[in-house]
Structure 1
Amino acid sequence: MLWRYLDKKSMFINRLTKRVLILLVCLVCSWPVYCAEKVILISPSDSPNDARGEYAFTLLQKALNASQLNQNYQVELSQPINEARAYKQLTQGRSLHVMWAAYRAHWQQQLNQINKPILKGLLGQRVFLINQQEQVRFNQINHLHQLKALNLGTGHIWSITPILKRHGFNLVTSSSYDGLFAMLSKQRFDYFPRGINEVIAEYRYRKPQYPNLTIEKTILLQLDLPVYFYVTPSKPQLAVDITRGLDTLEHTGQFDRLFNQYFAHLDQALNLSTRKVFKVAQ
């Protein structure tokens, strides 16, 4: 009886030991998930209908994955927030950590700018959202001064706005990203310049709400508008890791592959090679 008892006890201990080992293996394998540092990427606007952040989100996560040495990161997108509030919170670094935005000289004084343009100039390549009946008028524009004579819609604090103002464009501004589409529909201005990286998705999403909306077919407005990641000064190591990760992605070709995955179709989709090109010097 004693031997049977000892055998049963031994079998129980062996089973328990195996279960403990399995549990330990699971914990070790999942440790990076539980220990990952959360990185909050700021949404591109205060609109819940703005999907422009997908590329930046994917690129940032890939860069941080590629840079991992002693730290794991998990990127999350913030709730919609306007740019002024986002900038203020980013300087504090309490709950928001990274923002992707067009270059602003004064931001370099308060934030860590990652000096690698993530859109390779696409945001500065502008086509227009217009009302359908206006296409005939745009067909007749052959010089930049003709374009400047029309009214242009833009964001009140967007980085492109002071550039356009300095070059003599007639601006109608709004603090609301969503509001600009409504204003265009109501003919408060004549055209709404959009980066070629964003215009197709915006058009498809807004077309059901604004049936008269269309993408202008003949003009490409070019200006220098690089886009960077900006990192809160409260996380200097995060800025170092993003830089290292982007360098790795570039060296391995992953940067170009991701970029082409999102944007290689734009030339054909927007007929860029056949458009009249108007360049705005910096």
Structure 2
Amino acid sequence: MPRLRLLPIIFALSSLSLAPVSTATDDIQTIKMTPKQSEEDVSHDYLVQLVARSTQLAEEHFGPSKIEFMPIMLSQDRVLQLLGIGGVLDIVSSAPTAKREASFLSVKVPIFMGLLGYRMMIISPEKVATFEGITTEEQLKNLVACQGTAWPDADILEDSGYKVLRVDKFEQMFEKLHDGGCDYFPRGITEGYGELEYYNENNPDKPLAKFDSILIHYQVPLLFYTSHSNYELAAKMQYGLEKMVENGELEALLKNHPVTQSAFPLSKWESSTIYSVPNRRLPKSVPTFKKELWLELNSQP
């Protein structure tokens, strides 16, 4: 999208400071984040807690921070463009691509310690029997997965022969499950159960179902990104998140947060069938060699 088309959005957010990292006082750094993608985006609270705690741990070396939110939510493409322009947004979470690694500064600690790459499926109740009858990966590939238009996941799945329907808005994916546009919505085991619970509580007349006897796995971490001019914020987040890994707080947050706790204990997945999908697009800059940053499930053949 041309930058000129973003000008109205920038002007609409003009109440926010136009410094790369604004300060409410000379001492407190304001970190501007995106709001929820939709009411179903229950993982947002986890991300906010992670930013708050990691920056708190870094206060001694980088000073205190506070978090503010953009007043409106935009598509991921527009959010990343705003991050690149600078001034109205300081940090976003996104799956890494070569382009994003070149365009922005990433904080090289996987937000969900790699568990985001293990995908359960949200489906319509009418499709439960279909999914329970799956015995081969080819059968799953013949069904249609809902994915975001700009999500790297869509490319990863298509590279391996999966059928994908790309959808612009997060909340639309749940509707596509009902109208038959998609057969399933793959979600990380750290996010899908919370999203499904929230959706069903608020849509009792048209509930959706889970299917997790089969998981899809591809290595796609979620990372925090900021602009190149925000190098101090990137360093602050890197320091704080590494501390959370070192002292066990990151794994503890995963185990205890209402959204992510359903993934634990990890031993519960030992009887699940896991179809591994290669991620040929994973940038080499992602620290896959740092084993302390990643959690893994035991796969069944």
Displacement of 1:50: 2.1
1:159 maps to which of 152, 159, 167: 152
The alignment status of 1:117 with 2:110, answered yes or no, reads yes
2:84 maps to which of 91, 94, 119: 91
**Alpha carbons 1:93, 1:233 under 8 Å: kept:** no
For structure 1, the 5+ residue unaligned runs are 1-31
SS in structure 1 opposite 2:151?
Answer: coil
The alignment status of 1:66 with 2:63, answered yes or no, reads no
Measured at CA, do residues 185 and 269 of structure 1 come closer, stay the same or move farther in structure 2, by a change above 3 Å?
farther
SS in structure 2 opposite 1:108?
Answer: helix
Measured at CA, do residues 239 and 128 of structure 1 come closer, stay the same or move farther in structure 2, by a change above 3 Å?
same
Residues in 2 aligned to 1:120 and 1:70: alpha-carbon distance in whole angstroms:
24
Residues in 1 aligned to 2:199 and 2:254: alpha-carbon distance in whole angstroms:
24
**Alpha carbons 1:43, 1:81 under 8 Å: kept:** no
Task: Give the corresponding residue for 2:45.
Answer: 54
**Alpha carbons 2:40, 2:199 under 8 Å: kept:** no
For structure 2, the 5+ residue unaligned runs are 1-23, 280-301
**CA-atom RMSD, angstroms?**
2.2
Task: Give the corresponding residue for 2:217.
Answer: 222
Q: Deviations over 1:128-176 (max 9, x none)?
A: 1111121111111111111001111111111101001111111111111
**TM-score under structure 1 length normalisation:** 0.82
* Aligned partner letter, 2:94: A
SS in structure 2 opposite 1:225?
Answer: coil
Residues in 1 aligned to 2:261 and 2:170: alpha-carbon distance in whole angstroms:
26
SS in structure 1 opposite 2:88?
Answer: coil
SS in structure 1 opposite 2:229?
Answer: coil
Measured at CA, do residues 150 and 115 of structure 1 come closer, stay the same or move farther in structure 2, by a change above 3 Å?
same
Task: Give the corresponding residue for 1:3.
Answer: none
Displacement of 1:270: 11
* Aligned partner letter, 2:248: G
Task: Give the corresponding residue for 2:120.
Answer: 127
Displacement of 1:119: 0.7
Compare CA radii of gyration and give the structure with the larger one.
Answer: 1
Displacement of 1:180: 1.0
SS in structure 1 opposite 2:228?
Answer: coil
Task: Give the corresponding residue for 2:290.
Answer: none
The alignment status of 1:190 with 2:187, answered yes or no, reads no
Residues in 2 aligned to 1:48 and 1:234: alpha-carbon distance in whole angstroms:
32
Task: Give the corresponding residue for 1:179.
Answer: 172
Residues in 2 aligned to 1:242 and 1:227: alpha-carbon distance in whole angstroms:
14
The alignment status of 1:77 with 2:47, answered yes or no, reads no
SS in structure 1 opposite 2:123?
Answer: strand
Give the ranges of 4+ consecutive aligned residues of structure 1 lying more than 3 Å apart after TM superposition.
32-35, 267-271
* Aligned partner letter, 1:36: I
SS in structure 2 opposite 1:226?
Answer: coil
**TM-score under structure 2 length normalisation:** 0.77
Residues in 1 aligned to 2:270 and 2:31: alpha-carbon distance in whole angstroms:
39
Task: Give the corresponding residue for 2:31.
Answer: 39
Measured at CA, do residues 255 and 42 of structure 1 come closer, stay the same or move farther in structure 2, by a change above 3 Å?
same
* Aligned partner letter, 1:124: G
Q: How many pairs were matched up?
A: 250
